[in-house]
Amino acid sequence: MNTEKISSWDRLIHMAPPVRRIKMKFANVRLRHKFFFIFLLVIILPFSILVYYSYTSTRSTITGQTYTALDVTLAQINTNVEKRLEYYNQLSNILYMDAQLRNYLSTDYEQAYYYLDAFQYINRTLPSLMTLNSNIQNITIYTDNKTLYTDEQYVKYMEELPEALKGKALRAAGNTVYTHTDDYKSSDAHFTLARSLSYFSLQHPYGILAFDISDSELYSLIKMENNNKSVYIIDEDGRLISTGDQTLKSNRLYDLYPIQQAMQDKSGHFDLKTGGQERYFTYKKLSNGWSTVITVPYDELLSSANKATKRIIWYSVITIGIAILLLYITTKMLTKRIEVLLQQIRKVERGDFRLSITPMGHDEIGQLSFAFNKMASTIQTLIRDVYMKEIAMKESELNTLQAQINPHFLYNTLSSISSLALKEGAGQVHRMVNYLAKYYRVSLNKGKRIILVEQEINLVKNYVAIQDIRFRGKLHMHYDLDEELFQRTTIKLILQPFIENCINHAMWDESGININIKLKRDGEDILLKVIDDGIGMTAERLDHTLQKTGSGSGYGIKNVDDRIKLTYGERYGIAMFSRPGIGTSVTIRIPVNPYQTITDIR
């Protein structure tokens, strides 16, 4: 029989059009294989495209950031070097504009004997500058005045100055010029700042000032920037002035890298392949003609990008592998347990659950969705029923608690008693019954649990008026009320129990008791406080009072706390503090906006 069905199905497949034939064959493929096929088409292919895009964009972004970082580093180095050179230029201005020094250097000492004053002044001024600037190796003044003796340290004759530097300084006519030692690796490597001393007469200089500044001054500005890159400061001829690269075999950068022709502009960057290695160069010239050059091999330049892209590729491969593994495990679990799951779901189906459902096919997932939707609908109905029962149970509990503090005395009967007392001339009875009638008018409130805060305050005042007739001036009431809160709402009878406790349990002598009632706002909450100066309670007595649920004093304080929590939530309720001989403080916390408007009160 099964063989005949298979043969008929095969003949039907062969007779169908190609597209339909593919669909029919796909319908017979195992569900696990369907998952794999759909996963490969829908997930892996787009994910692979996303990985490739992420790879290229990440590489491009990191490369761009690296270029930008190099440019920022170059600009920062140049700025720092310019500032240091300007600083030493300003130091030279001190000597350049020193009139006393000019007089000493210009005086003819053949007929005079006070050249010692000149040396004393020079030996005091120049060393002080060197002391304040530790990187200055020497300060030398070269002069043509043969009557001024040379000390071979601070004052020398012009013949001792190299002709190249002398000519360069004289041509600069008072402006600073720079030169440096040939070997940047030597222990006394330095650069020299020189300028002709011609403050008043550019045509007749009276000497040349030279500062020898240690190479460490420049090296300190670039040594922190030599990580994965090389930084060079060179002069106009490409000779090295300072660098962190101590492996160079030549003192001329152009001998190592043929970049002279590429550095014609004031700044720029270019690529150069040298020694079989592709390198990136960026440079910027200083105001004195020197240049700062940064070079980095592309292997180092793109190392971060290569590391990031390798991580992306590895993470992608691992993610795809894990996804395939998880899919295999999931599909295997589904196909293996699908029949068992269907049997359990059909047990639920045997109930009278008349739900219509759109067919989703005849494979395992289609049957599972059909049965599961039925079960979900049933569970939803059950949850709704349980929820309604819980609400009804809470309402019942609230009504039960309210019944403990809301005895249904008849207001009309009290009014009749009040009228009879008035006719009989019993004024105190009339007032007491009248206050009691007003009290129960508010407390009954036509069966409503929610009243205005103002009504709750009035209820307390009526109750106090009743008790004041009994205690004859022993109740000293004080009210501190924020009237802006009067139109807010509260559950009724939350203040009166505490006033009753004050009266019945806190008075300890004939002087009576002071009771303070406060109403104020605390953020989004309303605080009602009852504070008395009665006998107070011990901690054990206070704990007993908070747990009391009977009607020893009318009703339990815990009753009030329970009603507040059931109505507004667990964060609201009462807090009590008491100390024997001092008094008791009760704080009642309720929300400001439990309802949108007063008309919502039910």
* Cβ neighbours, 10 Å, residue 407: 11
**What is the crossing angle of helices 557-568 and 539-547, to 10°?**
60
Six-digit token string for 410: 């008849």
Number of folded domains in the chain? 4
Residue ranges of the alpha helices (H) in 147-236?
163-172, 216-222
**How much is the average pLDDT of 1-7?**
46
92 lies in some domain: no
Q: Which helix (H) or strand (E) holds 57?
A: helix 45-96
Higher pLDDT residue, 441 or 236? 236
- My answer on whether 199 and 224 are in the same domain is no
DSSP string, 301-364: HTHHHHHHHHHHHHHHHHHHHHHHHHHHHHHHHHHHHHHHHHHHHHHHHTSS---------SSH
Most confident by average pLDDT, 51-60, 231-240, 372-381, 537-546: 231-240
Q: pLDDT value at position 602?
A: 39
User: Which of 429, 430, 453, 466 lies closest to 554 in space, CA to CA?
Assistant: 466
Residue 9: pLDDT over 50: no
Q: pLDDT value at position 554?
A: 38
Q: Give the integer Cα–Cα distance in Å for 218 and 27.
A: 78
Q: Are strands 208-214 and 136-143 parallel, antiparallel or unpaired?
A: antiparallel
Q: pLDDT value at position 437?
A: 63
User: Which of 122, 153, 128 lies closest to 138 in space, CA to CA?
Assistant: 153
484 lies in some domain: yes
Residue 447: pLDDT over 60: no
DSSP string, 356-422: ------SSHHHHHHHHHHHHHHHHHHHHHHHHHHHHHHHHHHHHHHHHHH-----HHHHHHHHHHHH
Per-residue confidence band for 262, with pLDDT thresholds at 50, 70 and 90: confident
For residue 86, report the phi and psi dihedrals to the nearest 5 degrees. -65, -35
Q: Give the integer Cα–Cα distance in Å for 336 and 225.
A: 63
320 lies in some domain: no
Q: Give the integer Cα–Cα distance in Å for 144 and 593.
A: 97
Six-digit token string for 128: 């002080």
**How much is the average pLDDT of 573-591?**
92
Q: pLDDT value at position 471?
A: 81
- My answer on whether 496 and 535 are in the same domain is yes
- My answer on whether 200 and 108 are in the same domain is yes
3-state secondary structure 110-172: CCCCCHHHHHHHHHHHHHHHHHHCCCEEEEEEEECCCCCCCCCCCEEEHHHCCHHHHHHHHHH
User: Which of 495, 487, 449, 391 lies closest to 601 in space, CA to CA?
Assistant: 449
For residue 179, report the phi and psi dihedrals to the nearest 5 degrees. -145, 175
- My answer on whether 108 and 126 are in the same domain is yes
Q: pLDDT value at position 399?
A: 61
> Could you give the C-alpha distances from 300 to 214, 394, 576, in angstroms and in order?
31, 72, 72
Six-digit token string for 466: 């009743």
- My answer on whether 293 and 243 are in the same domain is yes
Residue pair 489/526 in contact by the 8 Å Cβ criterion = no
- Greatest C-alpha distance within the chain: 143
Residue 316: pLDDT over 80: no
* Residue linked to tokens 């709402």: 489
Q: How far is CA 560 from the centre of its chain?
A: 43
Q: Give the integer Cα–Cα distance in Å for 101 and 369.
A: 103
* Residue linked to tokens 């020893």: 552
Partner residues linked to 585 by β-bridges: 531, 577
Q: pLDDT value at position 575?
A: 92
Q: Which amino acid is at 531?
A: I
Q: To 10 degrees, the CA torsion angle through 358, 362, 363, 368?
A: 40
Higher pLDDT residue, 259 or 589? 589
Q: Which helix (H) or strand (E) holds 450?
A: strand 450-452
**How much is the average pLDDT of 530-546?**
87
Per-residue confidence band for 588, with pLDDT thresholds at 50, 70 and 90: very high
pTM, to two decimals: 0.47
Residue pair 515/499 in contact by the 8 Å Cβ criterion = yes
- My answer on whether 274 and 184 are in the same domain is no
191 lies in some domain: yes
Q: Give the integer Cα–Cα distance in Å for 530 and 585.
A: 6
Cβ contacts of residue 115 below 8 Å, gap of 6+? 107, 109, 147, 148, 149
420 lies in some domain: no
**How much is the average pLDDT of 434-440?**
63
Most confident by average pLDDT, 58-67, 240-249, 284-293, 335-344: 284-293
Q: Give the integer Cα–Cα distance in Å for 102 and 97.
A: 8
Range of the domain at 512: 474-600
Domain boundary among 185, 214, 243: 214
- My answer on whether 286 and 382 are in the same domain is no
Instruction: Report the SS3 class of residue 104.
Output: helix
For residue 240, report the phi and psi dihedrals to the nearest 5 degrees. -75, 130
Percent of the chain exceeding pLDDT 90 equals 17
Q: pLDDT value at position 271?
A: 87
Q: pLDDT value at position 342?
A: 60
423 lies in some domain: no
Q: What is the end-to-end Cα distance of the chain in Å, rounded? A: 72
Q: pLDDT value at position 421?
A: 59
> Could you give the C-alpha distances from 168 to 12, 46, 172, 413, in angstroms and in order?
103, 69, 6, 123
Domain boundary among 367, 398, 429: 398
- My answer on whether 261 and 191 are in the same domain is no
**How much is the average pLDDT of 154-175?**
88
- My answer on whether 284 and 362 are in the same domain is no
Most confident by average pLDDT, 2-11, 366-375, 415-424, 537-546: 537-546
Q: pLDDT value at position 319?
A: 80
Q: pLDDT value at position 576?
A: 92
Q: What mean pLDDT, rounded, does the chain reach?
A: 77
- My answer on whether 127 and 200 are in the same domain is yes
Partner residues linked to 589 by β-bridges: 527, 573
Per-residue confidence band for 347, with pLDDT thresholds at 50, 70 and 90: low
Q: Give the integer Cα–Cα distance in Å for 517 and 165.
A: 96
Domain boundary among 214, 243, 264: 214
508 lies in some domain: yes
- My answer on whether 207 and 229 are in the same domain is no
For residue 576, report the phi and psi dihedrals to the nearest 5 degrees. -125, 145
Six-digit token string for 499: 């006033």
130 lies in some domain: yes
CATH of the domain at 260: 3.30.450.20
* Total H helices, total E strands in the chain: 18, 17
**How much is the average pLDDT of 577-583?**
90
- My answer on whether 386 and 288 are in the same domain is no
By mean pLDDT, which of 100-109, 310-319, 429-438 is the weakest?
429-438
